Structure 1
Amino acid sequence: MTNELHTAIIVNPALPAGLIANTVGAIGIGIGAKRPQLGGDRLTDRHQRTIDISSNKPVPILQADAETIRNIMLKIIASGTEGIVTVPFPAFARALHNYQDYQQTFPDRDLSQETIDGLGLAGPTKLVKSLTGALKLLR
């Protein structure tokens, strides 16, 4: 396998559709901020209409229950693995409506005890697939 950059977003399928969409969108922004090489390009069509691209790689949206998502997140954090972007979406974040509140609350939280609604990963293909290979696509 290659060390090429691979991405995946895992979300809890038990969430309502709107929360799934919000979770995936927020995680996508986090991954893109840490790995701007995944997007940022601009393309121009033959009529000189230019757009910003969404992504230059596939972003599979996978499903898992909250416990599985949390366990994958904790496994990555505990391993101290360098080179993998880990973007969790803890459920408690939904009750906070500005980043400063989230930032202030976060140090008092224990991620091993929190419900994690979603998790975004970006890193070497072999590593990301080893963590997500058994998960099904969200349908």
Structure 2
Amino acid sequence: MEMKCVMVIDANLPTGLIANTAAVLALTLGKEIEGIIGPNVVDGSGQKHRGITTTPIPILKGDAVTIKELREKVCSDEFSNLLVVDFSNAAQTTKNYEEYTEKIASCTANDLEYLGIALYGDKKKVNKLTGSMGLLR
């Protein structure tokens, strides 16, 4: 099975929040997906460069409604084997991880506004969910 990874980020966010959302999603993907980060490499001068992603990660544009709908779809049985990483307003409105976990625990799915979501898994399933979305530019 061919694998694919994408991020969908709210294009209406300010540039700084878009960058922050992508960074947070990427860090979690790097933690969760075995082998997504390649080994360190050495350039022709003998200097070491840390490994980077071995998988292309297109960043697609969405909005808060589209991302929330996408999050709901990936919770269905059809897409249950996809890895889903989401980033919500709960993270943006807290100062530390303890506050974040408390805030998430007090929210329902309807309370959360998603800034971005990352999907990883079977290419056909990821394409079915995101194939019509344009690149965030």
| Paired letter, 1:53 | G
Checking the alignment, whether the CA contact within 8 Å between 1:39 and 1:56 is kept in structure 2 is yes
Q: 1:119 matched to which residue of 2? A: 117
Equivalent residue in structure 1 for 2:52, among 46, 50, 54: 54
CA distance in 2, matches of 1:30, 1:83: 17
Checking the alignment, whether the CA contact within 8 Å between 2:90 and 2:104 is kept in structure 1 is no
TM-score, normalised by the number of residues in structure 1? 0.91
CA distance in 1, matches of 2:89, 2:16: 14
Q: 2:89 matched to which residue of 1? A: 91
CA distance in 1, matches of 2:22, 2:82: 18
TM-score, normalised by the number of residues in structure 2? 0.92
CA distance in 2, matches of 1:100, 1:77: 25
Q: 1:36 matched to which residue of 2? A: 34
Q: CA RMSD in A?
A: 1.5
CA distance in 2, matches of 1:56, 1:9: 15
Q: 2:12 matched to which residue of 1? A: 14
Structure 2: which 5+ runs fail to align? Answer: none
- CA displacement, residues 82-130 of structure 1 (integer Å, 9 cap, x when unaligned): 4321011111210112111111221221123321110011111111111
CA distance in 1, matches of 2:31, 2:56: 17
Once the two structures are aligned, what percentage of the paired residues are identical? 28
User: How many aligned positions are there?
Assistant: 137
Checking the alignment, whether the CA contact within 8 Å between 1:74 and 1:112 is kept in structure 2 is no
